[in-house]
């Protein structure tokens, strides 16, 4: 396991006043001396010096001394709750302790293209150059490596500019038969040696990564053969004695075991859901059934998650074929849905779907069955390569950027004995896994399907896949009422705070899981204001049909807290016999749970299980690293930044100042900056002053001398009381006069609107289902005993923490909360802030203490 090393807790500052480090500022890499830089590297600014926090804010951990625990040198959906395994007193390790001087790194993309590959290439190139290594493009994958010549070219900083938002891969990808032969690999080795390349970063699928591992194993033998042939001398054999290989998985199918998400998967889901949303409107108009075929010859992930995200009536997967007699069961299900006045049916089919006898189930076969048996007007839509195209999502850009940085660090730390590894995503945590262990498990999945061991296939896919499948089955098929044992418990659902995309998906999931568990589900309209007024109604299975893809809050939501209405709320809870409450919302939801827990002594009606599902674009709720709605908000920021940057392509020499939402939480500004390739992002968590602003202006002035003649600066809406968006705009305009001009844009509430992203639909569905399972367990504990819930563990926030989805009592979370500014005291994404700066060509101190050890792939057990 990677060993995170705890940092000493900094002494809190007496106020919000800034404490400045004595060390001089380090300039951007390109520019001349600057007055200040965002992160101090130590006395004299040199690499290897002690880390000196540039400033401290009261009650906050300085960024250069981030809180203990891995914040994944990775970026969009199992996690260890404890990071205390590091030896006490160990020194932290920083990027400046590593050097790439004398190293040459080759980066190639191979196999099918995937959105986000360019972001990975950009990160590898820029991080490699940053640490002093030479980085080479290998065009057209392994074919370019075999052909050599101009197919292997040195990359510079500007050669990867403006590619973050571009789909596909700018360095090309091709299938290569020659590399499958030893003769081809011999040519490839010779071509690499001509440029001194002994470090390979391969972005592709399992076939591409397997080829890289074979190449690595044969390397010493290939060198000896080249020496015997007189193509290299013995000195070269010794100098380039070993090859290091690090892989990143680029595949829209998400078919590689060992990682929760591969590069391109989230973007492919965006394409699918865009089509599904469009089709649903026409299907509803004409009462049609649509059969959608999505990619996934050997993996049903895209089909499964898109079915979850749109509430499809039926889904066909290669890993989990339908039971015998599925034809009749499916027709019954479709007709039952129509009988409930549903005007359309959606069936999603993976292109590799099979039955239990391993015979293909095609979309045309399904259409023919529906038309013959039910007489419904049925159409087939095959999405095809549309799923590979288009702009990468914010999740894929961040994921690929983090993976690219981690890949370079892995190559810097590699030794002759280091096996080929793949950088993977586990929950929200970056891990390195032995490449061939992942490949072997991926092949084991196909073997299990071939041998019709379908339960094993699902298990080998991992807990994320299995969890998605179980959730879909629970939500898609309702048992007859007489087959559901009743609990005689009433569970209420309420939305609180500002609207966030995915709230409706969460409500739908909670209602259906609650009904399946035998509860009577109650919907509370218009937040706690409506609760106090008795706006409470029973809500049924069909009432929430079609809610998954709708933005905003159908139940209605307000920022009103329960404090002044506690008496009325307690009365309503008594009147409606509410036994448990699910609160879906942002910081107001969390604060409401805190207030209701404190009021239990005065109102016994509040002595029930209370669960908070965090839902806010600001991502500022303690107890979770990701809040429902933040992915949709982030995509809105990034899409707008893309359009704004494009508008500058003709005018040149223009800098855009963009204000994002988030209150005092800088998540949207920081992560939006990383995903959009911003030059700077101003946030509340990292104090800044006029010298920082001046440094950024100087940086942009130097940038305008290059071929990249545009700039992008993001500002969190509450990052500073005095350095407002207008002030920064006017300062940049004045200081940049004659060099660049400025424009400003306040994104406003467009970040809260729109349809939920696939991530938020899926996340809302799954996390809300988990919340209801927790509530059901709590209610079972009290059944027949009239138990009152008074302990801290009966009022919890459900969230993601490193590698686990966990419930944390609000009583414990209070200690971790800055209530004045409505943010957690420690935030994982601050660890990624140096990455944005490094990739924008600033010097920054980046903690890599958690890197360095390979983990092993562990099959998930049911």
Active site members: 253
Contact between 544 and 483 (Cβ < 8 Å): no
662 labeled binding residue: yes
End-to-end CA distance of the chain, in Å?
23
Contacts of residue 438, defined as CB under 8 A and 6 or more positions apart, other chains included, come to 206, 209, 256, 257, 258, 259, 422, 424, 857
- Reference 711, options 834, 841, 846, 844; nearest CA is 841
Contact call for residues 269 and 254 (beta carbons, < 8 A): no
Is 540 annotated to bind a ligand? Reply is: no
Q: Is 751 annotated among the ligand-binding residues?
A: yes
- As a whole number of angstroms, the distance between CA 72 and CA 382 comes to 37
**What gap in Å lies between CA 564 and CA 325, rounded to an integer?**
57
The answer to whether the annotation marks 661 as part of a ligand binding site is yes
Q: Is 386 annotated as a binding residue?
A: yes
Look at the alpha carbons of 372, 373, 378, 381 in this order and tell me if their dihedral is positive or negative: negative
Q: Is 619 annotated as a binding residue?
A: yes
403 is annotated as contributing to ligand binding: no
Neighbour count for residue 744 (Cβ, 10 Å)? 18
Distance CA 672, CA 684 (A): 15
User: Are 296 and 255 contacting, i.e. CB atoms less than 8 angstroms apart?
Assistant: yes
Does the annotation place 208 within a ligand binding site? Answer: yes
Residue 105 half-sphere exposure, CB side, CA atoms within 13 Å?
Answer: 34
Rounded to an integer, what distance in angstroms lies between the CA atom of residue 566 and that of residue 211?
65
Q: Is 83 annotated as a binding residue?
A: no
**Is 205 annotated as belonging to a binding site?**
yes
Q: Is 654 annotated as a binding residue?
A: yes
DSSP state for residue 388 in the 8-state scheme = G
Residues 6+ away with beta carbon under 8 Å from 33: 25, 27
Integer Cα distance of 381 and 275 in angstroms: 9
Beta strands of 78-221 (E only): which ranges?
104-109, 134-138, 152-154, 199-204
Measuring CA to CA, which residue among 435, 378, 84 is closest to residue 247? Answer: 435
Phi then psi dihedrals of residue 749, to 5 deg: -75, 0
Residue 822 counted as an annotated binding residue: yes
Check whether 387 is labelled as a binding-site residue: yes
Annotated ligand binding at 253? The verdict is yes
Q: Is 592 within 8 Å of 558 (Cβ atoms)?
A: no
∠ CA(832), CA(835), CA(837), 5° rounding? 120
Q: Are strands 104-109 and 199-204 parallel, antiparallel or unpaired?
A: parallel
- Report yes or no: 208 and 116 within 8 Å, Cβ to Cβ: no
Find out whether 99 is annotated in a ligand binding site: no
Q: Where are the alpha helices (DSSP H) in 70-134?
A: 117-130
Contacts of residue 722, defined as CB under 8 A and 6 or more positions apart, other chains included, come to none
Beta strand 429-434 with 421-426: parallel, antiparallel or unpaired? antiparallel
Single out the residue of 128, 106, 87 nearest to residue 1, CA to CA: 87
Q: Is 595 annotated as a binding residue?
A: no
Q: Are strands 536-538 and 520-524 parallel, antiparallel or unpaired?
A: antiparallel
Q: Is 330 labelled as part of a ligand binding site?
A: no
Q: Confirm whether residue 452 is marked as ligand binding.
A: no
Closest CA to 116 of 410, 430, 390, 427: 390
- Residue 520 annotated in ligand binding: no
176 marked among binding-site residues: yes
Half-sphere CA count of 406, side-chain side, radius 13 A? 33
Kindly tell me the sign of the dihedral angle through the C-alpha atoms of 705, 711, 716, 718.
positive
Please indicate if the annotation marks 295 as binding a ligand: yes
**291 phi/psi in degrees, rounded to 5:** -105, 115
The response to whether 650 counts as a known ligand-binding position is no
Q: Establish whether 749 is an annotated binding residue.
A: yes
| C-alpha–C-alpha distance, residues 853 and 838, integer Å | 24
Q: Is 112 annotated as a binding residue?
A: yes
Map residue 374 onto helix, strand or coil.
Answer: helix
**752 assigned binding-site residue:** yes
207 is in an annotated binding site: yes
CA distance linking residue 90 with residue 67, whole number of Å: 15
The answer on whether 252 is annotated among ligand-binding residues is yes
The encoded tokens of residue 597 equal 């827990």
679 annotated as a binding-site residue:
no
Within 10 angstroms of residue 541's Cβ, the number of other Cβ atoms is 17
576 annotated to a ligand binding site? no
Binding residues: 112, 175-176, 205-208, 251-253, 288, 295-297, 351, 379, 385-388, 559, 616-620, 654, 661-663, 717, 743, 749-752, 822
Binding residues for beta-D-fructose 2,6-bisphosphate: 559, 616-620, 654, 661-663, 717, 743, 749-752, 822
Binding residues for Mg(2+): 206
Binding residues for ATP: 112, 175-176, 205-208
Binding residues for substrate: 251-253, 288, 295-297, 351, 379, 385-388
């Amino acid at each position: 396991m990677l060993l995170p090393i705890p940092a000493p807790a900094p002494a809190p500052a007496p106020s919000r006043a800034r404490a400045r480090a004595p060390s001089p500022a380090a300039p951007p890499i390109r520019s001349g001396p600057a007055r200040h830089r965002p992160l101090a590297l130590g006395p004299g600014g040199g690499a290897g010096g002690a880390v000196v926090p540039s400033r401290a804010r009261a009650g906050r951990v300085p960024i250069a001394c981030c809180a203990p625990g891995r914040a994944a040198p990775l970026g969009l959906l199992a996690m260890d709750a404890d990071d205390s395994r590091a030896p006490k007193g160990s020194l932290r390790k920083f990027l400046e302790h590593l050097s790439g001087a004398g190293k040459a790194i080759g980066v190639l993309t191979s196999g099918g293209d995937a959105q986000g590959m360019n972001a990975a290439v950009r990160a590898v190139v820029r991080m490699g150059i940053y640490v002093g290594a030479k980085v080479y493009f290998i065009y057209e994958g392994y074919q370019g490596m075999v052909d050599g010549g101009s197919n292997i070219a040195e990359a510079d900083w500007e050669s990867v500019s403006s590619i973050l938002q571009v789909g596909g891969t700018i360095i090309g990808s091709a299938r290569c038969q020659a590399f499958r032969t030893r003769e081809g690999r011999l040519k490839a080795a010779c071509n690499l040696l001509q440029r001194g390349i002994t470090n390979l970063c391969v972005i592709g699928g399992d076939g591409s990564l397997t080829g890289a591992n074979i190449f690595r194993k044969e390397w010493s033998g290939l060198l000896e053969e080249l020496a015997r042939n007189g193509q290299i001398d013995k000195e070269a054999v010794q100098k380039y004695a070993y090859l290091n290989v690090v892989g990143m998985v680029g595949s829209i199918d998400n078919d590689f075991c060992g990682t929760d998400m591969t590069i391109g998967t989230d973007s492919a889901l965006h394409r699918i859901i865009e089509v599904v949303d469009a089709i649903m409107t026409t299907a509803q108009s004409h009462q049609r059934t649509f059969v959608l075929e999505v990619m996934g010859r050997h993996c049903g992930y895209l089909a499964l998650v898109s079915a979850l995200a749109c509430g499809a009536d039926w889904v066909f997967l290669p890993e989990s074929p339908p039971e015998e007699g599925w034809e009749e069961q499916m027709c019954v299900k479709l007709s039952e849905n129509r009988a409930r006045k549903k005007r359309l049916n959606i069936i999603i089919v993976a292109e590799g779907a099979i039955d239990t006898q391993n015979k293909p189930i095609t979309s045309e076969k399904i259409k023919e069955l529906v038309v013959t048996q039910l007489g419904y007007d049925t159409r087939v839509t095959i999405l095809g390569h549309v799923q590979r195209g288009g702009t990468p999502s914010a999740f894929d850009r961040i994921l690929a950027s983090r993976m690219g940085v981690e890949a370079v660090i892995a190559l810097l730390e590699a030794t002759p004995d280091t096996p080929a590894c793949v950088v993977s995503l586990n929950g929200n945590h970056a891990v390195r896994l032995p490449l061939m262990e992942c490949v072997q498990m991926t092949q084991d999945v196909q073997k299990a399907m071939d041998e019709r061991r379908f339960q094993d296939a699902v298990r080998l896919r991992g807990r994320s896949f299995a969890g998605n499948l179980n959730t879909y089955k629970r939500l898609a098929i309702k048992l007859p009422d007489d087959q559901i044992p009743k609990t005689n418990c009433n569970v209420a659902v309420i939305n609180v705070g500002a609207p966030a995309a995915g709230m409706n998906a969460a409500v739908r999931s909670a209602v259906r899981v609650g009904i399946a568990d035998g509860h009577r589900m109650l919907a509370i309209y218009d937040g706690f204001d409506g609760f106090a007024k008795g706006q409470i109604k029973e809500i049924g299975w069909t009432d929430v049909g079609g809610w998954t893809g709708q933005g905003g809050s159908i139940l209605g939501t307000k920022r009103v807290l329960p404090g002044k209405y506690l008496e009325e709320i307690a009365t309503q809870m008594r009147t409606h016999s509410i036994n448990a409450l699910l609160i879906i919302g942002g910081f107001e939801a969390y604060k409401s749970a805190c207030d209701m827990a404190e009021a239990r002594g005065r109102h016994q009606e509040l002595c029930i299980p209370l669960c908070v599902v965090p839902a806010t674009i600001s991502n500022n709720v303690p107890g979770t690293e990701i809040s429902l709605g933040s992915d949709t908000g982030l995509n809105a920021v990034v899409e707008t930044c893309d359009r704004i940057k494009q508008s500058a392509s003709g005018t040149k020499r223009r800098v855009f100042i963009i204000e994002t939402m988030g209150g005092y939480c800088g998540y949207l500004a920081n992560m939006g900056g990383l995903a959009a390739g911003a030059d700077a992002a101003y946030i509340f968590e990292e104090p800044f002053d006029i010298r920082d602003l001046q440094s950024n202006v100087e940086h942009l002035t130097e940038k305008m001398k290059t071929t990249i003649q545009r700039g992008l600066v993001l500002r969190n809406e509450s990052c500073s009381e005095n350095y407002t968006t207008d002030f920064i705009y006017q300062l940049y305009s004045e200081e940049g006069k004659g060099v660049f001009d400025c424009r400003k844009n306040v994104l406003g509430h467009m970040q809260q609107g729109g349809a939920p992203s696939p991530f938020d639909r899926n996340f809302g569905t799954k996390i809300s289902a988990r919340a209801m399972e927790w509530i059901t367990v709590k209610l079972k504990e009290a059944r027949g005993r009239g138990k009152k819930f008074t302990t801290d563990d009966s009022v919890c926030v459900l969230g993601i923490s490193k590698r686990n989805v966990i419930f944390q009592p609000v009583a414990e979370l209070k200690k971790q909360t800055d209530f004045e500014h409505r943010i957690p005291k420690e935030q994982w994404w601050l660890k990624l802030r140096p990455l944005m700066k490094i990739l924008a060509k600033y010097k920054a101190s980046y903690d890599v203490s958690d890197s360095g050890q390979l983990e092993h792939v562990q099959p998930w057990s049911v």
